[in-house]
C-alpha cells in the first residue's frame, strides 16, 4: 500500500458531470491505479443543493470568497451513495464494510458523510452504518443540531444530541471527522471520544490564519486522542498556493506534534483551484518527507481506521 487519502469528492464531482473513472483532472479511478492499485480513499457524500440567499452573501462578504447557501437532503445522500454502489458493481472499486476489507486487493472507498445537516437524530447513525458509512463529519460550513461549525457566529460546540452521536459512532466503529468543525466542537469531541478522531482535510492556523484551519490547541487535542490531521490542497488555507505550502504544513505537524499524527486529505474533486506543483493525485509522492514516507501517505491514517473498526 502507498496511499490513504482522507478526503476526495468523487460522488459530488460525478453529479456535476465530471469523469471520475477516466478523468485527468485532480483525481480519478484510473489515476489512483497508477499511484497505488490498493489505495484507500475516504470518499465523501455531500448531500447539498446550492441555493442563493442572504446567508450565502453574508458568508462571502465575511470571509472573502464565494460560498453558496445550501439545502441538505437525505434523497441527495442516497443519490450520491448510488454512484459508489455503481462503481463497485462495475468492478472499479471495493467499498470497505469491515476491517477485513482493508487488505483486499483493488481501489477501496471508505464512505464518508460530510456534515450531519441531513440527519434528524443521532440514531440515524444506525441507518448510515447499514449503508456502510464508516466516517462521519459532524459539520460542513453550517451549524447543525449536533455541533457548531468553524463558520459559527456563536461557537456552542457539541450539543447534548451531538454527544450521543459521538458515543454511538464510537460504539458502531464509525470514525468521527472534525473537518469544518468549530474550535469548541473539536475540544468537546476530544474530551468524550473513546476512539481516535480525524481532521480529514485541514491545515495549521499557525502557518495561515484561515477560518478552516486549526490552532495548536485543537491539533494537540486530536493528537492526544491518537488521531491524525489530513493536510489538504485547499489553496486558501495554505501559506502559499503551491506544493511548498502543503509541505510546510506536513513538516509543521510532524516536527511540532509528532510524525505519527500527520496524514493526507487532498479534497481533490471538491476544489476549484489546485496548488502549483500539486495539480493531481499522481503527484502525491512529491509530498513525502524523507524518513517518514509511509507514515504520511498511509500508515498513520490506516492505524486510525483499524482502531475505529
pLDDT in tens, 156-183: 999 999 999 999 999 999 999 999 999 9
pLDDT tens across 181-212, in order?
A: 999 999 999 999 999 999 999 999 999 999 99
Grid coordinates representing 252? 509543521
pLDDT confidence of residue 69? 45
71: pLDDT strictly greater than 60: no
pLDDT confidence of residue 89? 98
pLDDT confidence of residue 51? 56
pLDDT confidence of residue 56? 58
pLDDT tens across 99-117, in order?
A: 999 999 999 999 999 999 9
246: pLDDT strictly greater than 90: yes
How many domains are contained in the chain?
A: 1
CA distances from 141 to 64, 67, 76, 305 (A): 14, 9, 17, 25
pLDDT confidence of residue 287? 93
In the chain, the percentage of residues whose pLDDT exceeds 90 is 87
Contact status, residue 284 vs residue 251, Cβ threshold 8 Å: no
Contact status, residue 150 vs residue 184, Cβ threshold 8 Å: no
DSSP 38: T
The gap between the terminal CA atoms of the chain, to the nearest Å, is 19
pLDDT confidence of residue 48? 74
Domain holding 243, by residue range, is: 4-308
Grid coordinates representing 114? 460530510
Rounded CA separation 4/182 (Å): 25
DSSP 171-193: HHT-EEE-TTB-HHHHHHHHHH-
The CATH number assigned to the domain holding 254 equals 3.20.20.140
pLDDT confidence of residue 66? 47
Contact status, residue 93 vs residue 106, Cβ threshold 8 Å: yes
Backbone angles phi, psi at 104, to 5 degrees: -75, 150
Give the dihedral of Cα atoms 265, 266, 268, 272; nearest 10 deg.
Answer: 120
Residue 300 DSSP SS3: helix
Burial of residue 168 (CB within 10 Å: 0-12, 13-18, 19+) is middle
pLDDT confidence of residue 62? 56
Mean pLDDT, rounded, of the chain: 93
> Which range is least confidently modeled, 67-81, 195-209, 280-294?
67-81
Contact status, residue 298 vs residue 40, Cβ threshold 8 Å: yes
DSSP-derived pairing of the beta strands 69-72 and 48-51 = antiparallel
Residue for cell digits 461557537? 155
Grid coordinates representing 221? 487535542
Contact status, residue 15 vs residue 44, Cβ threshold 8 Å: no
The answer to whether the predicted template modeling score (pTM) of the entire model surpasses 0.85 is: yes
64: pLDDT strictly greater than 60: no
Grid coordinates representing 6? 482522507
| 217 Cβ contact partners less than 8 Å away, ≥ 6 residues apart | 183, 187
Rounded CA separation 20/41 (Å): 13
Rounded CA separation 72/93 (Å): 27
Mean pLDDT, rounded, for 6-27 = 96
> Which range is least confidently modeled, 45-49, 54-58, 77-81, 234-238?
54-58
- List beta partners, residue 50: 70
Residue 110 falls in which region: left (phi positive, over 0), alpha (psi -120 to 50) or beta: beta
| 89 Cβ contact partners less than 8 Å away, ≥ 6 residues apart | none
120: pLDDT strictly greater than 90: yes
pLDDT confidence of residue 288? 87
Confidence band for 57, pLDDT divided at 50, 70 and 90:
low
Amino acid at each position: 500500500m502507498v496511499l490513504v487519502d482522507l478526503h476526495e469528492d468523487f460522488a459530488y464531482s460525478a453529479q456535476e458531470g465530471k469523469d471520475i473513472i477516466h478523468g485527468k483532472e485532480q483525481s480519478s479511478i484510473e489515476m489512483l491505479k497508477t499511484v497505488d492499485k490498493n489505495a484507500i480513499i475516504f470518499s465523501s457524500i455531500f448531500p447539498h443543493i446550492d441555493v442563493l440567499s442572504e446567508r450565502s452573501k453574508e458568508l462571502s462578504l465575511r470571509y472573502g470568497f464565494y460560498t453558496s447557501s445550501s439545502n441538505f437532503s437525505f434523497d441527495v445522500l442516497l443519490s450520491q451513495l448510488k454512484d459508489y454502489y455503481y462503481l463497485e458493481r462495475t468492478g472499479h472499486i471495493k467499498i470497505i464494510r469491515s476491517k477485513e476489507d482493508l487488505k483486499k486487493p483493488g481501489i477501496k472507498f471508505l464512505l464518508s458523510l460530510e456534515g450531519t445537516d441531513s440527519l434528524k437524530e443521532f440514531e440515524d447513525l444506525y441507518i448510515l452504518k447499514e449503508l456502510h458509512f464508516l466516517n462521519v463529519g459532524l459539520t460542513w460550513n453550517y451549524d447543525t443540531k449536533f455541533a457548531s461549525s468553524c463558520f459559527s457566529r456563536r461557537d456552542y460546540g457539541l450539543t447534548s444530541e451531538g454527544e450521543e452521536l459521538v458515543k454511538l459512532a464510537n460504539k458502531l466503529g464509525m470514525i468521527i471527522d472534525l473537518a469544518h468543525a468549530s474550535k469548541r466542537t473539536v475540544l468537546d469531541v476530544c474530551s468524550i471520544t473513546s476512539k481516535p478522531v480525524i481532521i480529514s482535510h485541514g491545515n495549521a492556523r499557525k502557518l495561515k490564519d484561515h477560518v478552516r484551519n486549526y490552532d495548536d490547541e485543537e491539533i494537540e487535542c486530536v493528537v492526544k486522542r491518537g488521531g491524525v490531521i489530513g493536510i489538504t490542497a485547499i489553496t486558501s488555507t495554505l501559506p502559499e498556493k503551491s506544493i511548498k505550502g502543503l509541505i510546510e504544513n506536513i513538516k509543521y505537524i510532524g516536527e511540532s506534534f509528532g510524525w505519527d499524527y500527520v496524514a493526507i486529505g487532498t479534497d481533490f474533486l471538491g476544489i476549484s483551484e489546485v496548488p502549483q506543483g500539486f495539480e493531481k493525485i499522481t503527484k502525491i509522492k512529491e509530498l513525502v518527507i524523507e524518513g517518514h514516507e509511509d507514515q504520511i501517505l498511509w500508515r498513520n491514517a490506516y492505524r486510525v481506521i483499524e482502531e475505529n473498526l
